[in-house]
Chains A and B, each alone.
Chain A
Amino acid sequence: MTPIAHASPLSAVIVVFCVLAVGGYLVAVLDRAASCLIAGRELSSDVLLDPMRSAAWRLSQQTVRTERPDAPIVAIAPAIYLTLAAAGLVIVPMSEGFVGADLPTGVVVWGTIEALIIVAVFFHGWGPNSPFAMVAGFRFIAVGLSYGLISMFILIGASLPAESLSISAIVDSQASLWNVIRQPLGLPLFLLVALGATMRGPFDVIDSRDLAGGSSVESSGVDHLLWSAGRHAALTSFAVIGSALFLGGWHGPLLPGSVWMLLKSVFLLVVLVAASHAAAGVPPRRLITLLWLGALPASFLALAEAGLVAL
C-alpha cells in the first residue's frame, strides 16, 4: 500500500462545503443558461442572480404541511441527500495527497452512497402522505435499483486497472492513461447513473410533470429549497467522483492538481447539465426497459472490456 497523506480534518471539511456550495450554485446557473440557450433568449446577469432570487423566495415562502405527514421522515429526507453528497466528496482526492478520508474501500463506499440515495428519495416521496409523491417514491425504488446495478459494474471496471478499491489508487493508476480512454463505456454509463440518481432530464420520472411534481409535489419553502440543494449538491458530487474515476483526477500537465480537478469537474457538470436539457424525457415503463435491456448489458460489456484490458 502507498503511504497515505490525509488532509487535516478541518481543511477537508471546509473544502467539501465550498465545493458543494459553489458546485451546487453552478448547477443552478448552468440550468438557467441552458434554458435560455434552448429558448433562444440572450444570456444576461439574470442567469447568475436568479438562483439566489429563487432561493430567497423559497426562504420567505410559507412551508405548507400536508395532513398527517410522517414528520420525521419528511424532515430527514433532504438532510440525508445533502449528507450523502458531502460524504461522496470526503473520499475523493482533490489534489495530490489532499483527501478527507482515503478509505481502502472508496468505490464501495460510493456504491453505498448511491444505494442510500434511494432511501433519501423514497423518504421524500413517502413522508408527506400524498399519493403522487408516494408513487414517485416507489418509482425511484424501481429505477434506483437499476442504476445501482449499472453503477456497480462500471465501478468494479474502474477499479480493475488499479487493482485496488481505493479512489486514490484508481487516480494514481491513470497517471499515464485515463480510464475514459481505457474503458470508453464507463464514463457515459456513469453519467447516466448520475442523471438518474439526481432525477434530471430524460431520467426525471421522479419529480416529474406527469406526477405534478412527483416526490416534491407537497414540498414548499425551506423544505423545497433544501431538496433542490440536495439534488444540485449530489450532481456536483457525481461530477467530482466521475473526474477522479475516469478523467485521471488531479493528473495533468503544467497546472497544479487542484486546478485540473476543478477544470475536469466543471467540464463534467457542463456535460451533465447539457445532457439533462438536450435529451427528451422517457416514460417510466420505457425507461426501465431501456435500463435493463440497454444500459445494463452495456455495463456488462464495459466490465468485460475493462477486465480484458487489465489482463
Chain B
Amino acid sequence: MIGAMEVASFEFTSVDVAFVGLAAASIATGYRVFRTDSMIRATFLLLASFLNVGAMMLLLAAPYMGVALMFMMTVEMVVMALFMLMFMMNPAGLNPMNMVHQPRMAAFGGVVGFAALAAVAVLGDYPDRPVDQAEDSIAALGEELLGDSMVIFETAGVTLLAAMVGAVALTSSQGRFGDGLEGSLPPTLRPGSENRPEDDLYDPNEGGMDHGAMDHGAMDHGAMDHGAMDHGAMSEGEMDHGAMDHGASADHDAGEHR
C-alpha cells in the first residue's frame, strides 16, 4: 500500500498528465459506446477507447504492445462493423437502435466489474522493478516469442493462417466447378411466382386471405419479410420505434432519433 507521505511527495510529470488524460478519454468513449443509437458509432467509439489504451501502453514503455494493440483493434473493429451491418435484422443496421440488452443488469455488472478491477489496481501489492529505458524491450519480446516458445507460436500461427486460407477458399464464389452464382436468379417479390421459397410455407388456395396484407407490404418493401415482422414484435422496445412500419427502409428512418 502507498503511504500518505509518499502520496504527498508524488510529483506529476507530463507523462502522468498524459496518462490521466488518455485514461479519462478511454473511459468516456467506452461509456459512449452504450449511449449511442448507431452500430457504426458504437463500434468506432469502442475503437477510440482502445486507441487511448494503446497510447497509454506507449507511455508505460511497452511500445510494441501499444502499437500492435492499436493496429489489431483498428482492423478488428472495421471487420466487426462490416459484419454487424451485414447481419443485423433491421435493414443493414441503419435504423437507430438501443445498444443495450438488459440495461439494469448490464449497468450493475459494469459498475461492479469496474470497481473490482479498480480495487485490484489500487490495492494490489505490486513488485517495484522499473524498466530501464535504454533496454530494448522489443528485442526482449521477440526473444520471448521466438526463443523457447517458438514451436508453440509458430504452430498457432500456421494453424491460423491455414484456417484463414481455408475460410477464403470455402466462401469464394469461384470454385473448382465454375462461378458459384452461375444460373442463380434474384428472388422475385411477386407472390405465387417461381423462385420464392417462402411461398412453399402455405397453400395459396387456403390461406390467401390471411397473408394478403403482408404480401402487399412485401411487394412494396422488399426488405421486409416474415422474419423481420417476428423480430420487430419480439424485441420489446429494443427498437423503440417500429421496424414494422411500411416505411422502415434505410433512407427513410436512419438518424430519426439523433
Can you list 28 contacts pairing A with B, beta carbon distance less than 8 Å? A67-B251, A68-B255, A68-B256, A70-B38, A70-B258, A73-B41, A108-B64, A108-B67, A108-B68, A108-B71, A109-B67, A111-B71, A112-B67, A112-B71, A112-B74, A115-B74, A115-B78, A118-B75, A118-B78, A119-B77, A122-B81, A123-B44, A126-B40, A129-B255, A141-B82, A145-B79, A165-B138, A292-B168
Kindly identify, within residues 72 to 128 of chain A, every residue whose CB is under 8 Å from any CB belonging to chain B. Answer: 73, 103-105, 108-109, 111-112, 115-116, 118-119, 122-123, 126
Pick from B71, B85, B174: contact of A115, CB under 8 Å:
B71
Q: A129, B78: Cβ atoms under 8 Å?
A: no
Whether A104 touches B78, Cβ cut-off 8 Å, given contacts A68-B255, A112-B67, A119-B44, is no
Asked if A148 lies at the interface with its beta carbon under 8 angstroms from chain B, I say yes
A-B contacts counted at CB < 8 A amount to 71
Query: Mask for B76-103, Cβ within 8 A of A = 1, else 0?
Result: 0111011001000000000000000000
Most buried by A among B71, B254, B255: B71
Interface centre among A1, A108, A131 (most CB of B within 10 A): A108
Binding site for A on B (CB under 8 A): 38, 40-41, 44, 47, 63-64, 67-68, 70-71, 74-75, 77-79, 81-82, 85, 134, 136, 138, 168, 174, 251, 254-256, 258
The CA-CA distance from A68 to B256 in the complex, in Å, is 8
> A115-B74, A118-B74, A292-B168 provided; 18 other pairs, C-beta below 8 A?
A68-B256, A69-B255, A70-B258, A73-B41, A103-B63, A105-B64, A108-B68, A115-B78, A119-B44, A119-B47, A119-B77, A129-B255, A141-B78, A141-B81, A145-B78, A145-B79, A148-B75, A165-B64
* Smallest CB separation, B54 vs chain A (Å): 9
Q: Across the two chains, which residue of chain B brings its CB closest to A292?
A: B168
Determine if B40 and A73 form an interchain contact, defined as CB atoms under 8 angstroms apart.
Answer: yes
Least CB separation from B173: chain A residue: A285
For the complex, what is the distance from the CA of A275 to the CA of B63, rounded to whole Å? 36
0/1 interface trace, chain A 239-282, chain B, CB 8 Å (1 if under) = 00000000000000000000000000000000000000000000
Residues of B within 8 Å of A116, CB to CB, are 74
Give every chain A residue within 8 A of B256 (Cβ-Cβ): 68
B76 nearest in chain A by CB position: A115
Distance to closest chain A CB from B57 (angstroms): 11
Contact in complex: A105, B74 (CB < 8 Å) = no
Q: Which of A1, A112, A119, A289 contacts B78 (CB 8 A)?
A: A119
When the two chains form their complex, are residues A129 and B64 in contact, meaning their CB atoms are under 8 A apart? Answer: no
Inter-chain contacts of B44 with A (CB < 8 A): 119, 123
Which residues from chain B contact A105 at a C-beta distance below 8 Å? 63-64, 67, 138
